Structure 1
Amino acid sequence: MDAPQPAARAGGVVATLALAGITAAIMQTLVTPLIAELPQMLHTSTSNAAWVITATLLVAAVCVPVVGRLGDLVGKRRMLLVCSVPLVAGSVVCALSSSVVPMIVGRGLQGMGMGMLPLGIALLRDVVPAEKLSSSIALVSASMGIGGGLGLPIAAAVAQYADWRALFWGSAGLAAAVAVLIWFLIPDVPAGARGQRFDVPGALGLGAGLVCLLLGVSKGADWGWGSPITLGLLVAAVVVLGAWGLWELRTPDPLIDLRTTGRPRVLLTNAASVFVGFAMYASMLVVPQLLQFPEATGYGLGQSMLASGLWMAPGGVMMMIVSPLGGKLTNARGPKFTLICGALVIAAGYGLSQALMGSAWGLMVVCIVINSGVGLAYGAMPALIMSSVPLSETAAANGFNTLMRSLGTSIGSAVIGVVLSQMTITLGGHTLASENAFRTSLLIGGGLALVSAAIAVAIPALRSSGTDDGQASPAGAPEQAPVGA
């Protein structure tokens, strides 16, 4: 591994990679203020317009693990620059779109750039001094949440007071600026897995399996959970991913090393990531609706999209503040302890929501607490992963962990969507989610945060050369593999 960069250079690297993560998150939340207007804007049906959201999810799920593996093979800096190209191109395509097909294409291109986050986290292991590694990982890892929290009110303000195309022109400029910073500030570190082959069948198999799984999960509510197409997709996902797993175990240079991924420390971290992703996304679905529901319901707060985004923005700011503190906690007590604390803080936020959901101030406090826990948890998970995998697999392993988080958010979206659609009231001839539906959704989010904490408790200590979770060095001494794992 190359010698760590000087402090000034390392600071520029961390800032650039954090900005890249924030940019990727903003791309995901960019169209949220436009959801209700998309059918009219694009001259299409509501169901067709929904693909503007789904396309980014599907393409990102397929590309993130592939980009991570390519980062290990050809270099992380090179792949960061490659990821910036579809982010810029996709934004320009969306800005120029007047119909649904080019908009979906542009959103798919934006999804291709989502691999920036795991690449950036893995690169930190190569260039940041050991004493700053935990806090740097925490900040860059939490940047997706930070970007989501801050991007929503910004996008809402632009959509309300300017032409919607300005959103995409702005995102194109931001992605281009990130590419320039990567070019000048990110060092070119030798690839850890140089000389190995890229697993093309593994990439195709994983992509096909994930598309079937996520399409079935994300569209199940629209198509019907018992419909032939939904059941067919879910069965196909099981078959294809099962065959993919057998292939990965037999090929000499797998896309994802399932033997490494199957180590208890890595496996349990990824399992906890699914539940943390679900718990994080539950609040992002419920809180904006509570803020914007009409006051006539008795529980809605009647806020505009812009106002609701501003009420939620302090949560994103708090995540930015908490992330470096989480890195210090990791240095002092280990990433496992930080992950447990983060999950418990998320659960505490959901507990508060039962008493505070009746006011905008209360929901702001809930967002602050939940996002503080997300900041702690999101910073700890990559540190756990990178302390447990070989240097040649860091980007691929982080890509897979990012995929697990995304899987959690997708499942969370489907489950919360079912709860809100089944527990309803009728007001003025309109069917709306009931207060009990929102309370139940928040209880589910809190319950799954507790599940993630329980899984984190079971993560074994790292036992190699005297290193364990109670010391400050796991993320900084990653070459040592866990004994007996």
Structure 2
Amino acid sequence: MTVDTSRRRAGSPESDASKGRGRIVAVLAFAGIVVSLMHSLVIPLLPRLPEFLHASASDTTWAVTTTLLAGAVATPTVGRLGDMYGKRRMLLISLALLVAGSVVGAFSFSLAPLIIGRTLQGLAAGVIPLGISIMRDELPPARLGGATATMSASLGVGGALGLPVAAVIAETLDWHTLFWVAAGLGLVSFFLIAWQVPESQVKSGGRFDAVGAVSMSAALVMLLLVVSKGGTWGWTSATTLGLIGGSLILFTGWTFWELRVARPLVDLRTIWRRQVLLTNLASLIFAFSMLSMSLSLPQILQLPAETGYGLGQSMLVVGLVMAPSGLVMMAVAPLSAWISAAWGPKWSLMAGAVLVTAGYTIGFFAMEAVWQLVAVSSIVGAGIGLAYGAMPALVMGAVPPSESGSANGLNSLMRSVGTSLSAAVAGLVFAQMSTNLSGTLIPSQGAFHMMMGCGAVAALAALAVAAFLPRYRLSDHRPPG
């Protein structure tokens, strides 16, 4: 009798709906991991790209920069288009661009087509905020916190796991194989979403703000070019100063336009709400802090042992050391959701900041062995996972459902800006604090201590920002709209 009852329950509409929602979460998280893999896809190739593409080392860095720029442009635009015309539709378009870019990269034997392919891959960056917004539309409140935390953590998982996988492929197979693998994963994600994810019924409609999209995209490209290339061009060069001035002018004009247009690309009145504004600021700072680890630990691991502080390891070992941080991010996602449900996402964000501070503090004093760096990356990864898991809840708790795609896209954009700023600061630190090894300038031990300190200070700054967030539990709050 008991067996029959359980069977009836297992086949009940509630059980089937629960399984269907579980599949939606799994598919969206997988797509998020695939998209985040694109950020670390070419990192193992960078030292050899000049040889492969017959180009200079400075030119081949555009294989990374162009993906960042494309993602910054696409994320807020795709989020708004998803709110207006359908989030699933924009998900499929984004993944189609990723597949197209991967195929172009797979057929590249010179720099120009590779940059085109990497640009198309970067245009898929809106998949993660779109996935979070779909979850808000499709899942019951009891499951939303854990699902969005998992989706948010997929950003770190893909980036961390991508390093060892890409390193193995790059060292054992033709480098074009990386792009064929990316194309295959993109196709799998495309068909899984087409099969399992329904189109959201929450749409705002209206006319797309093309003027706002073009002006914001141009301003962002100028800003990020300054951040990523200013050190190479010279911070007082005409090019750098011209881009800074152009960015300021465009952002000013864009602000006035967005406040006047009926259907703005970004509702500035919404993002100035304390909860949204402080969450976006914390996102920027956390991204800065996270990249401090990603830029420092691989170099410490690979520098020759004769420096006295380098560990002389291969790129594969670097990937294996960094991979646990991504796995820990995913593992703590349920904990982040539990803290957010019990006490509020503010406390999950603050707990993450404390863990990140602790990780960098340990790293400041302990970077002499591989296991120590694994511990540092895991602790920092746990903190980032707790914090990133709370951010979608904070953003969506302050905006109506019709604005969730745009709001989550803007939050992801803040992370991109934070990583760009961290890269610029790291470049400055490593250039100014260097030592000579056999005629080659390499970062000094003090430079790595400085980066650990910057990561800890940034995490403390995020903790201070989070302290001013409003206090509420998810179960007690209804978003506006």
Q: Bin the TM-score by the shorter chain.
A: over 0.9
Equivalent runs, 1:143-158 vs 2, <5 Å: 143-158=154-169
How big is each residue's C-alpha offset from its partner over 1:7-42, in whole Å with a ceiling of 9 and x where there is no partner?
101111111111111111101110000001111111
**Larger displacement relative to structure 2 (44-53 or 272-281):** 44-53
User: Is 1:222 paired with 2:232?
Assistant: yes
Out of 270, 289, 292, the position equivalent to 1:282 is 292
Cα distance change of structure 1 residues 5 and 28 upon mapping to structure 2, 3 Å threshold: farther
In 1, Cα distance between equivalents of 2:139 and 2:344 = 18
Equivalent runs, 1:327-476 vs 2, <5 Å: 327-461=337-471, 469-474=472-477
Aligned match of 1:50: 61
What's the offset of the Cα at 1:232? Answer: 1.1
Letter in 2 for 1:190: Q
Aligned match of 2:127: 116
In 2, Cα distance between equivalents of 1:66 and 1:416 = 29
In 2, Cα distance between equivalents of 1:85 and 1:449 = 36
What's the offset of the Cα at 1:345? Answer: 0.9
In 2, Cα distance between equivalents of 1:407 and 1:71 = 22
Cα distance change of structure 1 residues 288 and 325 upon mapping to structure 2, 3 Å threshold: same
Identity among equivalent positions (%) equals 47
Aligned match of 1:465: none
In 1, Cα distance between equivalents of 2:458 and 2:263 = 35
How big is each residue's C-alpha offset from its partner over 1:205-239, in whole Å with a ceiling of 9 and x where there is no partner?
10010000000110011111111101111121111
Equivalent runs, 1:68-217 vs 2, <5 Å: 68-194=79-205, 196-217=206-227
Does structure 2 retain, via aligned residues, the 8 Å contact 1:71–1:191? no
Equivalent runs, 1:17-36 vs 2, <5 Å: 17-36=28-47
Does structure 2 retain, via aligned residues, the 8 Å contact 1:4–1:129? no
In 1, Cα distance between equivalents of 2:353 and 2:475 = 20
Q: Could you list the runs of 5+ residues in structure 2 that have no partner in the other structure?
A: 1-13
Letter in 1 for 2:290: M
Aligned match of 1:233: 243
Does structure 1 retain, via aligned residues, the 8 Å contact 2:332–2:385? yes
What's the offset of the Cα at 1:358? Answer: 1.1
Q: Could you list the runs of 5+ residues in structure 1 that have no partner in the other structure?
A: 462-468
In 1, Cα distance between equivalents of 2:389 and 2:116 = 32
What TM-score does the superposition give when structure 2 sets the normalisation length? 0.96
What's the offset of the Cα at 1:473? Answer: 4.7
Q: Secondary structure at the match of 2:174?
A: coil
Q: Secondary structure at the match of 2:245?
A: helix
Does structure 2 retain, via aligned residues, the 8 Å contact 1:72–1:393? yes
Cα distance change of structure 1 residues 193 and 5 upon mapping to structure 2, 3 Å threshold: farther
Q: Secondary structure at the match of 1:426?
A: strand
What TM-score does the superposition give when structure 1 sets the normalisation length? 0.95
How big is each residue's C-alpha offset from its partner over 1:330-381, in whole Å with a ceiling of 9 and x where there is no partner?
1111111111111111111101101221111000000000000111111111
How big is each residue's C-alpha offset from its partner over 1:90-128, in whole Å with a ceiling of 9 and x where there is no partner?
000001000000000000000111110110011110111
Cα distance change of structure 1 residues 65 and 471 upon mapping to structure 2, 3 Å threshold: closer
Does structure 2 retain, via aligned residues, the 8 Å contact 1:192–1:393? no
How many positions carry a matched residue from both structures? 468
Runs of 4+ in 1 over 2 A off after TM superposition: 470-474
Aligned match of 2:263: 253
